[in-house]
């Protein structure tokens, strides 16, 4: 006689009326979980208070804080599976994500949970909670599980509270996506000459194949980054499966002299590495030399297997074996690249970028490879990269997402190219063996972004465009032939807001000396179109307050609003052809700025004085006291 014995999962975790369960997931790397926990704890408290005080709902944590680990995250698939084995299938669950998380810890359990699920993310900029939520959402989409999603900066705005109330009431939350336009064979753009070029490139890819080589897959739990083989086959992008262990073997074959030549090549072209002496916490030269070996080994593999693109998984396996992959990834994806010799001495694909699939994510591999083939076939710069969406805010009645540049960015995307890049050590909590990331400022101009996902075996891609403008703010006098100006920054208040970035090195009270370049800052504005970017730049200039020196701000505002600039029909003789000093009235502009700030200061002082007076007179009007 057979005896069946199954492990008892424990008491069922339930949620009663006006109650909701909280689950939170994060990293496989415990050092990262400990570091990220304080932000999670802060937002759990915010969520609990918001539900209790505004929506009369109690938040119940479905799993305990792990005192022995120093955090309360789910940190493995086993732990996530065991938890959901105990959760009431009908219970409403909020999955709060404030840091990067490995989706597979919870995805398979969430996919089979019948009750309402809300993926909730913060995006305060400390840790990539929003990126983690988008990854989990993409993973569940790939598994055929629709879920609600919501995000907020502080968990107190109207958008957040309205969305939370809707989900609690109906069990579902749908966002407005009217701005998305479906592209099909009958779409007008496909019947243009440009559309014909795209069609021909697509036919070429399907016929000739763009082989994508990936050193292992399933990076950091991204189920959504692993596409079905049939999906890849149908679009002409088959997978060449490579092994990280083989990469280490090939790296070991790269001689020290060649590694040193590689690093010196980048240093000679102006890249700066922030080297230190402690490899545990600082970037060291041996770490970057190891990254050079990885670059060479990856390029040789791309040549051997005839790959159109190559990617390295890194975080599972290589993280404990060698330096980080970022520098190697950015360098191999650049057209300007160290001349890498193959085993036979022939230089591998000189002047051509080899698209690098960051985190072996097939959702970025597909558009990256397609764009590389399209752009290179047209003789255009063909570098591509992965960007994160980590921030956003409302502007002009629309919610605007900001892109954050990847640490494996190709040099062609940076202002100044290689000379505009700096190598910093990767954070020890994620990268114990160090290695350089690539940091720099993105170039201005038009850009295109794309992301692929799959449903069943069907590949779906979202595509968008944007524009970025850069204005150099210099201590120069446009009224006096742009002569440099020096002095003290008596007032310095840079602009803020969505779509605006200021890279500066000065603060109020500092001196502008005569010994250096006159540039004070770089003011960058970006938006969906060139005209919108220009308008946003003008608004930022109006909110950029500098007193004590003459600057090029008002000249910049005048210049970007001229017809030649707006149309793009200008050259290096722009000032000579179009500008006259009388077009600017810098004194009036400066006076207007000071007047505006003075008015704001007086208003603030008046508020404080009124409050103080009211307190001192027990609410009796000071005007009445004076009159008496």
- Model pLDDT for residues 366-378, shown as the tens digit of each residue: 999 999 999 999 9
Same-domain check for residues 598 and 572: no
Ramachandran area for residue 499 (φ above 0: left; ψ -120 to 50: alpha; else beta): left
Does residue 248 sit in the same domain as residue 139?
Answer: no
- pLDDT computed for residue 396 by the predictor: 67
The confidence score (pLDDT) of residue 602 equals 43
Instruction: Encode pLDDT of 317-334 as tens digits.
Output: 798 999 999 999 999 999
Do 59 and 20 form a contact (C-beta atoms < 8 A)? yes
User: Which CB contacts under 8 angstroms, 24+ apart, belong to 277-282?
Assistant: 279/433, 279/434, 280/428, 280/432, 281/425, 281/428, 282/425, 282/434
The answer to whether position 7 is within a domain reads no
Helix (H, G, I), strand (E, B) or coil at 144: coil
- Are residue 369 and residue 416 in the same domain, yes or no? yes
CB 20 within 8 A of CB 68: no
CA 485 distance to own-chain centroid: 37
What string of DSSP letters covers 369-429? Answer: HHHHHHHHHTTS------EEEEEEEEETTEEEEEEEE-TT--GGGBTTGGGG-EEEEPPTT
As a whole number of angstroms, the distance between CA 30 and CA 68 comes to: 11
* 55 within 8 A of 92, measured Cβ to Cβ: no
Which stretches of 243-318 are assigned E, i.e. beta strand? 272-273, 309-312
| Residue 13: inside a domain | no
Which pTM value belongs to this model?
Answer: 0.81
Cβ atoms of residues 537 and 502 within 8 Å:
no
Range of weakest confidence among 171-175, 206-210, 358-362, 438-442: 438-442
Contact 524, 469 (CB under 8 A): yes
Distance CA 541, CA 584 (A): 14
Residues 250 and 294 placed together within one structural domain of the fold: yes
Give the span between the Cα atoms of 453 and 362, in whole angstroms.
8
Tell which residue, 139, 123, 140, has the closest CA to residue 131. Answer: 123
pLDDT at 606 over 60: no
Cα 535 to Cα 10, 108, 334, 584, distances in angstroms: 60, 46, 32, 18
Classify residue 192: in a domain, yes or no.
Answer: no
User: What is the predicted pLDDT for the residue at 52?
Assistant: 96
Task: State the pLDDT at residue 412.
Answer: 93
Whether 611 maps to a domain, the answer reads: yes
Count Cα atoms within 13 angstroms, Cβ side, for 322: 24
Q: Residue 345 pLDDT > 70, yes or no?
A: yes
Tell me if 44 sits within 8 A of 60, measured CB to CB.
no
Same domain, 126 and 249: no
Q: Is residue 455 part of a domain?
A: no
CATH assignment at residue 577: 3.30.470.20
CA 403 – CA 381 distance, rounded (Å): 20
User: What integer best gives the mean pLDDT of the chain?
Assistant: 88
pLDDT for 107 equals: 96
Q: Do 444 and 470 contact (CB within 8 A), yes or no?
A: yes
State yes or no: pLDDT of 610 exceeds 60: no
Which residues fall within 8 angstroms of residue 620, CB to CB, at 6 or more apart? Answer: none
Q: For the residues 177-206, what does the mean pLDDT come to?
A: 86
**CATH number, domain containing residue 252:** 3.40.275.10
Return d(Cα 570, Cα 601) in angstroms, integer: 42
How remote is the C-alpha of 134 from its chain's centroid?
Answer: 12
Backbone angles phi, psi at 478, to 5 degrees: -65, -20
> Residues 237, 228: contact at Cβ < 8 Å?
no
Number of neighbours of residue 238 by Cβ within 10 angstroms: 12
Share of the chain above pLDDT 90, in %: 60
Final residue belonging to a domain, choices 443, 476, 497:
443
Regarding whether 364 and 247 lie in a shared domain, the answer is yes
Domain boundary among 115, 150, 170: 170
pLDDT of residue 395: 64
User: Do residues 332 and 299 make contact, with C-beta atoms less than 8 angstroms apart?
Assistant: yes
pLDDT at 137 over 90: yes
More confident position, 181 or 124 = 181
- Whether 375 is covered by a domain: the verdict is yes
Looking at the DSSP assignment, which residues form a beta bridge with residue 470?
A: 524
In this predicted structure, what is the pLDDT of residue 505? 82
**CA distance readout (Å), 277 to 286, 287, 425:** 11, 11, 12
Task: Name all contacts of 50-53 with Cβ < 8 Å and 24+ positions apart.
Answer: 50/155, 50/156, 50/160, 50/161, 50/164, 51/20, 51/164
CA distance 326 to 312: 10
Is the model's pLDDT at 595 over the cut of 50?
no
Q: Tally the domains of the chain.
A: 4
**Residue 580 sits in the same domain as residue 600:** no
Give residue 277's pLDDT. Answer: 96
Contact 10, 4 (CB under 8 A): no
- Cβ atoms of residues 96 and 73 within 8 Å: no
SS3 238: coil
Q: Tell me the mean pLDDT in the region 561-585.
A: 85
Same domain, 480 and 523: yes
pLDDT at 614: 41
Instruction: Let me know: does 495 contact 540? Beta carbons within 8 Å.
Output: yes
Return the higher-pLDDT residue of 306 and 627: 306
Q: How far apart are CA 38 and CA 71, in angstroms?
A: 9
Residues 396 and 318 in one domain: yes
Task: Count CB neighbours of 563 within 10 A.
Answer: 9
CA distances from residue 262 to 95, 199, 294, 441 in whole angstroms, order as listed = 46, 39, 11, 23
593: alpha, beta or left? (left if phi > 0; alpha if psi -120 to 50): alpha
Q: Which domain holds residue 93?
A: 19-170
- Mark 373-387 as b/e (b = at least 16 C-beta within 10 Å): bbbbeeeeebbbbbb
Which of residues 222 and 597 earns the better pLDDT score?
A: 222
| Residue that terminates a domain, selected from 387, 414, 443 | 443
The helix or strand, by DSSP H or E, that contains position 178, with its residue range, turns out to be none
At residue 241, the 3 state secondary structure works out as strand
Parallel, antiparallel, or unpaired: how do β-strands 239-242 and 212-215 relate? parallel
Q: Do 498 and 430 belong together in one domain?
A: no
The CATH number for 135's domain is 3.40.50.10940
Residue 436 and residue 467 share a domain: no
Task: Note the pLDDT of residue 498.
Answer: 77
Cβ–Cβ < 8 Å for 85, 9: yes
| Range scoring the smallest mean pLDDT among 2-6, 168-172, 185-189 | 185-189
Residue 501 belongs to a domain: yes
- State residue 585's pLDDT score: 62
Around Cβ 455, how many Cβ atoms within 10 Å?
A: 11
Q: Are residues 318 and 430 in the same domain?
A: yes
pLDDT-above-70 percentage for the chain: 91
Report yes or no: 247 and 215 within 8 Å, Cβ to Cβ. yes
Check pLDDT > 70 for residue 604.
no
Residue with the bigger pLDDT between 122 and 164: it is 164
Flag whether pLDDT at 597 surpasses 90. no
Mean pLDDT of 382-387: 88
Whether the predicted pLDDT of 439 surpasses 80:
yes
Assigned domain for 189 exists: no
Q: What is the pLDDT of residues 209-266, one digit of tens each?
A: 999 999 998 888 888 899 999 999 999 999 999 999 999 999 999 999 999 999 999 9
């Amino acid at each position: 006689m057979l005896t069946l014995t199954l492990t008892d999962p424990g008491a069922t975790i339930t949620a009663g009326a006006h109650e909701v369960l909280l689950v939170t997931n994060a990293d496989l790397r415990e050092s990262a979980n400990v570091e990220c926990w304080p932000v999670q704890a802060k937002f759990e408290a915010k969520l609990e208070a918001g539900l209790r005080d505004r929506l009369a709902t109690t938040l119940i944590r479905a799993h305990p804080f792990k005192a022995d680990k120093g955090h309360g995250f789910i940190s493995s698939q086993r732990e996530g599976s065991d938890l959901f084995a105990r959760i009431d299938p009908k219970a409403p669950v909020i999955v709060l994500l404030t840091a990067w998380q490995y989706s597979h810890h919870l995805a398979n359990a969430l996919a089979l949970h019948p009750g309402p699920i809300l993926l909730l993310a913060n995006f305060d900029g400390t840790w990539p909670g929003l990126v983690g939520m988008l990854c989990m959402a993409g993973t569940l989409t790939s598994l055929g599980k629709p879920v609600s999603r919501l995000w907020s900066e502080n968990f107190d705005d109207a958008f957040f509270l309205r969305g939370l109330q809707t989900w609690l009431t109906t069990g579902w939350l749908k966002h407005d996506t009217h701005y998305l336009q479906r592209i099909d064979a009958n779409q007008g753009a496909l019947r243009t000459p440009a559309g014909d070029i795209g069609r021909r490139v697509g036919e070429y890819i399907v016929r000739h194949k763009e082989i994508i080589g990936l050193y292992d897959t399933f990076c950091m739990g991204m189920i959504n980054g692993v596409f079905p083989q049939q999906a890849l086959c149908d679009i002409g992008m088959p997978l060449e499966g490579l092994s990280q262990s083989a990469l280490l073997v090939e790296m070991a074959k790269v001689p020290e002299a060649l590694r040193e030549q590689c690093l010196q090549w980048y240093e000679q072209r102006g890249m700066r590495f922030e080297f230190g002496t402690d490899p545990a916490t600082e970037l060291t030269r041996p770490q970057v030399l190891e990254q050079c070996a990885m670059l060479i080994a990856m390029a040789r593999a791309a040549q051997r297997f005839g790959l159109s693109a190559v990617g390295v998984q890194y975080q599972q396996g290589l993280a404990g074996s060698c330096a980080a992959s970022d520098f190697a990834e950015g360098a191999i994806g650049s057209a300007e690249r160290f001349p890498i010799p193959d085993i036979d001495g022939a230089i591998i694909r000189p002047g051509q970028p080899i698209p690098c699939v960051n985190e072996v994510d097939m959702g970025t591999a597909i558009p990256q490879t397609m764009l590389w083939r399209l752009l290179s076939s047209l003789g255009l710069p063909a570098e591509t990269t992965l960007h994160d969406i980590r921030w956003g805010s409302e502007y002009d009645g629309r919610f605007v997402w900001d892109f954050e540049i990847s640490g494996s960015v190709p040099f062609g995307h940076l202002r100044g190219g290689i000379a505009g890049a700096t190598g910093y050590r990767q954070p020890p909590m994620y990268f114990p063996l160090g290695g350089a990331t690539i940091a720099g400022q993105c170039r201005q101009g038009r850009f295109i972004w794309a992301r692929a996902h799959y449903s069943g075996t069907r590949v779906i891609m979202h595509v968008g465009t944007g524009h970025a403008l850069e204005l150099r703010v210099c201590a120069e006098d446009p009224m006096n032939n742009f002569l440099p100006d020096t002095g003290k920054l008596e007032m310095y208040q840079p602009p803020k807001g969505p779509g605006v970035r200021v890279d500066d090195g000065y603060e109020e009270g500092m001196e502008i000396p005569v010994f250096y370049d006159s540039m004070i800052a770089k003011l960058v504005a970006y938006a969906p179109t060139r005209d919108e970017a220009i308008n946003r730049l003008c608004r930022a200039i109006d909110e950029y307050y500098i007193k004590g020196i003459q600057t090029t701000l008002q000249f910049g505002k005048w210049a970007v609003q001229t017809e030649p600039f707006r149309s793009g029909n200008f050259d290096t003789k722009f000032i000579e052809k179009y500008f006259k000093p009388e077009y600017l009235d810098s004194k009036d502009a400066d006076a207007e700025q000071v007047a505006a700030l003075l008015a704001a200061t007086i208003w603030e002082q008046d508020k404080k004085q009124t409050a103080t007076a009211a307190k001192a007179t027990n609410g009796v009007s000071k005007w009445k006291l004076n009159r008496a």
